[in-house]
Structure 1
Amino acid sequence: MNDANLNDTQSSETMAAALDSVHEVKIGDVVKGEVLVIEDRQVIVGIEGTGVEGVVPQKELSSQPIETLTDAVKVGDQFDLVVIATIGNDKENGSYLLSKRRLEARKVWAEIEQKFENKETIKATVLNVVKGGLVVDAGVRGFLPASMLSDRFVRDLNSFKGQELELQIIEIEPSENRLILSRKALVEQERQAQLKAVFEKLLPGDIVEGEVARLTNFGAFVDLGGVDGLVHVSEISYDHINQPSDVLEVGQNVKVKILSLDQEKGRISLSIKDTQPGPWDDIAEKAPVGSTLEGTVKRLTTFGAFVEVFPGVEGLVHISQISHQHIATPNDVLEEGQTVQVKVLSVDPEQQRLGLSIKALQEKPAGAKDSEQEDVAPSDYEMPEEETGFSIGDMLGKALDEK
């Protein structure tokens, strides 16, 4: 064999060996690619061990949005890719459509499936608010229904946008890219732990600080550190208020007194007004005997009129102290809501009673005859008390006892 024939034989063997070393590329294969060219919206890579090239579109480079390709990759970078399609029919020189994003997603799905089987939780960042819930990024896209976001109704889903949440896996189907998640049970568990901690450190009578979490028509819910307590509308202020939003707003810091704790039902009753000076504090200085005050008629009864002289402070004007003229009932000369001037006849801070008189500030008409209870202070009457805080004697007058 001459030298020419020998060289041809060696060349053929080298070519055959080279061809044998080229691996056939199939859809679904995981290959290694090296960045050769960075174009406008795609990257050209050489597929290692094949002698052919592939194309990676910009959207297939990462699950995260990429604004500029050169910020994400550079010539010479190498990374694993999955073959998702062929481009053209030339097997030797043809290109392949490749994806880095889908290969990463495949690994993430495998990890999530493993956690699902082990009943583990995952962490995901809220991307968008859509109809019915939240779209989250857990390495792959997942869906968190609004009904599974919390153990109570959430009005503003947008407040969760951008937050990283710990979530339970409810349903998973990688082949359909379906991942359903829930936060409800975790919130419930956390709330129970917080509730237990609160009940362990608080006692009735304690005064603590909290933040107004929610307002309703019947009261305000105050966050005591992950656990809400209720301030009933009657415990917000000594002044009469129509609704809590008149004096409170969500996010406001307030001092509250613990009224009661019911660990079994998870209820905490609170009071704001009990942390404030009471309307009867220093009443002897605010309403000394003999002083004149302006008040509003709040209630009329057969025995007299209750007049509010300070917010939360009512005094009794006995029927005998309403007019110099004889009247059958207080309704003859007074009506609820009317503004009147009264004179303080007696003050009892401990029993929270004020004896008041209207007629003491009026000139006695000529020839008028006073009732038999003239200038008798209601607090001097002695009879059993009722829920008004005044005795029945306050209501009827000492003259009945004398008779």
Structure 2
Amino acid sequence: MAEDMNQVEVKDLNVGDVISGKVTKVEEKQVYVSVENSKLDGIIPISELSSLHVEQASDVVTEGEELELSVIKVEEDALILSKRVVLANKAWEDLEQKFNSGEVFEALVRDIVKGGLVVDLGVRGFIPASLVENHYVEDFSDYKDKTLTVKVVELDREKNRVILSHRAVVEEEQKSQKQQVLESLQVGAVMEGTVQRITDFGAFVDLGGIDGLVHISQLSHEHVSKPSDVVEEGQVVKVKVLSVDRDNERISLSVKETLPGPWASVTEKLSVGDVVEGKVRRLVSFGAFVEILPGVEGLVHISQISNRHIGTPHEVLKEGQEVQVKVLEINENEKRISLSIKDLEENVEEDYKQYQQQEESSGFQLGEMIGDQLKNLK
């Protein structure tokens, strides 16, 4: 009688049927399940538990767990079942939908293999090394058991081929973020950025998804020979937005305009009558511009360069020359300082005249003193 009942039950189940089963026992290489409305034992071989390699069954299922299974073989005393087939069928349907829509989803990295990463999606998914990040990765060991956002870039059910990309997701996110930052930028805004790259003509600063250029002339109020003298890669700097070209995605920035100007409180550092050292920065037809403080230049008018008549400043001075100058006038509001070299020459002449007068008043001359000594020798 029992055999007849089993025969009836067995005839009701066919290869390909999807049934529910409850795990009753977990062995190392197989799992036993009880099948509803059947007195036959259900057996899941370890190879049918997952699309990926499984070392032992307990890594995948636990006793008492309810599973959806596919019948892959009907034997007289048991049903051979597969969890893998059910998961794969559902996975392919889901992946086809995600592939067609371009959906971004999460996947757990199960294994690191030569050439990339393996994920379990119900079917085996592969992320090639070149599609993991948008930069070179030397060692992928840290990616094991890590969840990545991915999208399907290639799908072929007949070849059981599923190619995924995390890089595509990262690049899309960066593009979106770049556009958002570009749209939000306003000329005159002051913000922080990170120096990404240094060139001969300036530094590129990341504003959070898009780079802007700080030209060498905008790095400091002082003269800059090369950008690396002022900034370094990875440095966080404050910048002011000078211009935004959204069509060509070009942004001009300035570090200089976020710093206190060299003319700030210049009258606290200089006074009329001060004698200071300076360097000739520019020679023009009407005089010489001399830098007397970092970023602060004063004009030595041609009439204040020398006591003798000169046709051009080039007759007396050259660019880069160190000179002593006297401060004649300071106009902080208009950022103008008048300087003189001639006045210092006059001081030298005056000092010499005073020396001569002192000699005369002392009652003897140098020549007389030498003459007396010569007489004594005779």
The interval holding the TM-score normalised by the smaller chain is 0.5 to 0.7
Cα distance in 1, alignment partners of residues 130 and 52 from structure 2: 24
Counterpart pick for 1:123 among 105, 115, 118: 105
Q: Does 1:247 align with 2:231?
A: yes
Counterpart pick for 1:51 among 29, 40, 45: 40
Tell me the secondary structure at the aligned position of residue 267 of structure 2. helix
- TM-score by length of structure 1 reads 0.63
Distance 1:304 1:173, change over 3 A: same
Partner of 2:371: none
Partner of 1:276: 259
Cα distance in 1, alignment partners of residues 113 and 282 from structure 2: 55
Partner deviation per Cα, 1:216-247 (whole Å, 9 max, x = no partner):
323232426x5554433322321233226832
Matched residues, percent identical?
36
In the alignment, residue 116 of structure 1 is paired with which amino acid?
Answer: F
Counterpart pick for 2:29 among 24, 37, 42: 42
Cα distance in 2, alignment partners of residues 77 and 192 from structure 1: 48
Distance 1:249 1:63, change over 3 A: farther
Partner of 1:340: 323
Cα distance in 2, alignment partners of residues 359 and 132 from structure 1: 77
Are the counterparts in 1 of residues 116 and 126 from structure 2 also a CA contact under 8 Å? no
In the alignment, residue 22 of structure 1 is paired with which amino acid?
Answer: V
Partner of 1:18: 6
Cα distance in 2, alignment partners of residues 300 and 28 from structure 1: 94
Tell me the secondary structure at the aligned position of residue 62 of structure 2. coil
Partner deviation per Cα, 1:189-212 (whole Å, 9 max, x = no partner):
55435533x15xx3x3344x2332
Are the counterparts in 2 of residues 61 and 100 from structure 1 also a CA contact under 8 Å? yes
Partner of 2:63: 75
Q: Does 1:114 align with 2:102?
A: no
Partner of 1:286: 269
In the alignment, residue 293 of structure 2 is paired with which amino acid?
Answer: F
Matches within 5 A, 1:28-39: 30-39=18-27
State the shift of 1:110 in Å. Answer: 1.0
Partner of 2:175: 188
Cα distance in 2, alignment partners of residues 139 and 324 from structure 1: 94
Counterpart pick for 2:192 among 198, 206, 210: 210
Partner of 1:313: 296
Partner deviation per Cα, 1:24-47 (whole Å, 9 max, x = no partner):
9887664544434433x4342246
- Structure 2 residue runs of 5 or longer lacking an equivalent are 353-378
Tell me the secondary structure at the aligned position of residue 364 of structure 1. helix
Are the counterparts in 2 of residues 222 and 230 from structure 1 also a CA contact under 8 Å? no
State the shift of 1:95 in Å. Answer: 8.4
Cα distance in 2, alignment partners of residues 238 and 231 from structure 1: 13
State the shift of 1:142 in Å. Answer: 4.7
Q: Does 1:143 align with 2:127?
A: yes
Are the counterparts in 2 of residues 53 and 93 from structure 1 also a CA contact under 8 Å? no
- TM-score by length of structure 2 reads 0.66
Counterpart pick for 1:178 among 147, 151, 162: 162
Counterpart pick for 1:259 among 236, 239, 242: 242
Partner of 1:396: none
Distance 1:163 1:70, change over 3 A: closer
Are the counterparts in 2 of residues 25 and 50 from structure 1 also a CA contact under 8 Å? no
Q: Does 1:235 align with 2:218?
A: yes
Partner of 1:6: none
Are the counterparts in 1 of residues 19 and 71 from structure 2 also a CA contact under 8 Å? yes
Q: Does 1:223 align with 2:210?
A: no
Are the counterparts in 1 of residues 194 and 207 from structure 2 also a CA contact under 8 Å? yes
State the shift of 1:115 in Å. Answer: 3.3
More off after superposition, 284-293 vs 187-196? 187-196
Partner of 1:352: 335
Are the counterparts in 2 of residues 213 and 223 from structure 1 also a CA contact under 8 Å? no
State the shift of 1:310 in Å. Answer: 1.9
Cα distance in 1, alignment partners of residues 55 and 235 from structure 2: 38
Distance 1:23 1:272, change over 3 A: farther
Cα distance in 1, alignment partners of residues 277 and 14 from structure 2: 95
Are the counterparts in 2 of residues 35 and 43 from structure 1 also a CA contact under 8 Å? no
Partner of 2:372: none
Partner deviation per Cα, 1:125-152 (whole Å, 9 max, x = no partner):
5749999987777666253785897xxx
Cα distance in 1, alignment partners of residues 329 and 297 from structure 2: 13
State the shift of 1:62 in Å. Answer: 5.5
- Structure 1 residue runs of 5 or longer lacking an equivalent are 1-10, 369-403
Partner of 1:395: none
Partner deviation per Cα, 1:245-282 (whole Å, 9 max, x = no partner):
83255362x44333233344444433232222211222
Cα distance in 2, alignment partners of residues 69 and 131 from structure 1: 25
What is the RMSD of the two structures over their aligned residues, measured on CA atoms? 4.6
